[in-house]
Amino acid sequence: MNSNVHWQQRREAAVTPGVGSALAVYITRARNAELWDVEGKRYIDFAAGIAVVNTGHNHPAVIAAARAQLEAFTHTCFQVTPYPDYVRLAEKLNALVPIAEPTQTLLLTSGAEAVENAIKVARIATGRRAVIAFRGGFHGRTLLGMALTGKVQPYKAGYGPFPPEIYHVPYPARYLGVDDSRALASLEGVFAADVPADEVAAIIIEPVQGEGGFYAASPDFLRQLRALCDRHGIVLIADEIQSGFCRTGKTFAIEHSGIEPDIITVAKSLAGGFPLSAVVGRAALMSRARAGGLGGTFAGSPVAVAAALAVIELIETGQLNQRAQQQGEWVVSHLQRLADSLDCIGDIRHCGAMIAMELVTARDPQRPDRALTQALVQEAGRQGLVLLSCGVRGNVIRFLIPLTAEREIVTEGLNILSSCLQMVHNSRPAN
């Protein structure tokens, strides 16, 4: 028997429930922005594997590069016998990041690894211990990643104690009542009450929060944050794991502000579906790491590296930044028309093709509707559309459509979305 129910039953017996899934459907093949499950049902993918396949599922150039590498060799471990493509990719990333002075790169496997190693570099380069992160931020599920993450449920509850010397401040999200001045004042409050600025190694920030709800820090806030870090000798880390590689209409979201971070962490769409991450930072910082202190057995997998080199070429040849801008404009236009007819949509925001729709009761920002959000995800799944929710209040639908998706496919998905939201909204009792 080959059904979703069959595989769900086997999953429940074999797989820990600690790994959650948005939908109980089991995929057997994919192409660009479409998926097919074990029953042959087709789905339109508005999740892109959580922003991993900005270049679409099975992009021919990415698959060709990976296939060629598979035929050459799959693993030697860069720390044992290195290979040229690791160096080539490091050179490409050094040239790609918005940091003017010389940079160096470390390749890893997951986003959490990238974050942890960025903190390690900041600590060894500064000789300081403390790190400041933002509420609502997500930085991984390792112990340090969870310590940095600013959301308790479902990530942190019951998994402590966490590493010390981590401090959280409010993220500047005006829709949630936190303006730039309040967020900056909170940073100064940490320096006054918790840890002196000259003991802070790094401040880590997502220029656009991912799991936190797709709130974007304003360019002015990021400029002031850069100035604060410069004043106190603090390393500024931009976590671009979800917002990078053209998702926002720039190769990196921090470029919208015009500032330069000291270190950038990247993963997800870096290798078009293969597990690969990187830490790219000022050479003056990265060169302070001692031999053997960074790395990992599978870090910089040759197959993933080959795929990443293809992805970087596609940024230009596939005009991915332009496609993100165009996709963002017409998806948001559709959502705004939908919002005109439904009072459950409290806010629509976007940075390029990183798009969010916040669901509330009667357009009241203080009345988040988590239940409606979850009902929409499930109904959309039944009707063949893969959606993701997020947000500190669990009431945000995030759109991470492959940038290569055909417009007619996206329009079809948006029509399903409209139908499903109207259905679940209208089926609920009046407030």
Other CB atoms within a 10 A radius of the CB of residue 388 amount to 19
Within 52-210, strands assigned E span: 103-108, 130-134, 166-169, 200-205
Distance (Å, whole) CA 53 – CA 279: 20
Band (pLDDT 50/70/90 cuts) for residue 1 is: confident
Average pLDDT over residues 385-402: 97
Boundary of a domain, candidates 289, 317, 345 = 317
Pair (216, 283) in one structural domain: yes
Pair (46, 96) in one structural domain: no
- pLDDT over 60 at 86, yes or no: yes
User: What's the CATH code of the domain at 387?
Assistant: 3.90.1150.10
Boundary of a domain, candidates 317, 335, 357 = 317
Phi-psi group of 108: left, alpha or beta (phi > 0 → left; psi -120 to 50 → alpha; rest → beta): beta
Distance (Å, whole) CA 242 – CA 56: 15
**DSSP class of 268:** G
Q: If 0-12 CB within 10 Å is exposed, 13-18 middle and 19+ buried, where does residue 263 land?
A: buried
Q: What is the pLDDT at residue 40?
A: 97
Q: Which residues contact 173 (CB under 8 A, 6 or more apart)?
A: 136, 209, 212, 213, 215
Pair (294, 333) in one structural domain: no
Closest of 290, 283, 122, 304 to residue 199, by C-alpha: 122
Phi-psi group of 46: left, alpha or beta (phi > 0 → left; psi -120 to 50 → alpha; rest → beta): alpha
- pLDDT over 60 at 371, yes or no: yes
Pair (210, 112) in one structural domain: yes
Distance (Å, whole) CA 123 – CA 338: 48
Residue 11 lies in a domain: no
Residue 3 lies in a domain: no
Structure tokens at 289: 């790491």
Pair (296, 402) in one structural domain: no
Pair (119, 180) in one structural domain: yes
User: What's the CATH code of the domain at 66?
Assistant: 3.40.640.10
Pair (153, 245) in one structural domain: yes
Residue 16 lies in a domain: no
Q: What is the pLDDT at residue 430?
A: 61
Q: What is the pLDDT at residue 431?
A: 56
**207-239 per-position pLDDT tens digit:** 999 999 999 999 999 999 999 999 999 999 999
- pLDDT over 80 at 429, yes or no: no
Distance (Å, whole) CA 208 – CA 54: 16
Structure tokens at 201: 């190694």
Closest of 268, 251, 352 to residue 308, by C-alpha: 268
Boundary of a domain, candidates 293, 317, 341 = 317
| Overall pTM > 0.95 | yes
Distance (Å, whole) CA 320 – CA 326: 10
Pair (76, 215) in one structural domain: yes
Amino acid at 428: R
Residue 9 lies in a domain: no
Pair (39, 142) in one structural domain: no
Q: Residue with structure tokens 């940091």?
A: 99
- Tell me the residue range of the domain where 166 lies: 61-317
Average pLDDT over residues 348-359: 98
- pLDDT over 90 at 428, yes or no: no
Average pLDDT over residues 98-102: 98
Q: Which residues contact 321 (CB under 8 A, 6 or more apart)?
A: 246, 249, 250, 251, 315, 352
Residue 15 lies in a domain: no
Pair (299, 160) in one structural domain: yes
Phi-psi group of 156: left, alpha or beta (phi > 0 → left; psi -120 to 50 → alpha; rest → beta): alpha
Give the number of domains in the chain. Answer: 2
Distance (Å, whole) CA 99 – CA 413: 38
Cis omega (within 30 of 0) on the bond before 261?
no
**DSSP class of 290:** P
Residue 129 lies in a domain: yes
Cis omega (within 30 of 0) on the bond before 161?
yes
**8-50 per-position pLDDT tens digit:** 999 999 999 999 999 999 999 999 999 999 999 999 999 999 9
- pLDDT over 70 at 396, yes or no: yes
Q: What is the pLDDT at residue 218?
A: 97
Pair (305, 338) in one structural domain: no
3-state secondary structure string across 361-422: ECCEEEEECHHHHHHHHHHHHHCCEECEEECCCCCEEEECCCCCCCHHHHHHHHHHHHHHHH
**235-269 per-position pLDDT tens digit:** 999 999 999 999 999 999 999 999 999 999 999 99
Pair (140, 256) in one structural domain: yes
Residue 431 lies in a domain: no
Q: What is the pLDDT at residue 306?
A: 98
Residue 206 lies in a domain: yes
| DSSP track, 222-256 | HHHHHHHHHHHTPEEEEE-TTTTTTTTSSSSGGGG
Average pLDDT over residues 59-68: 98
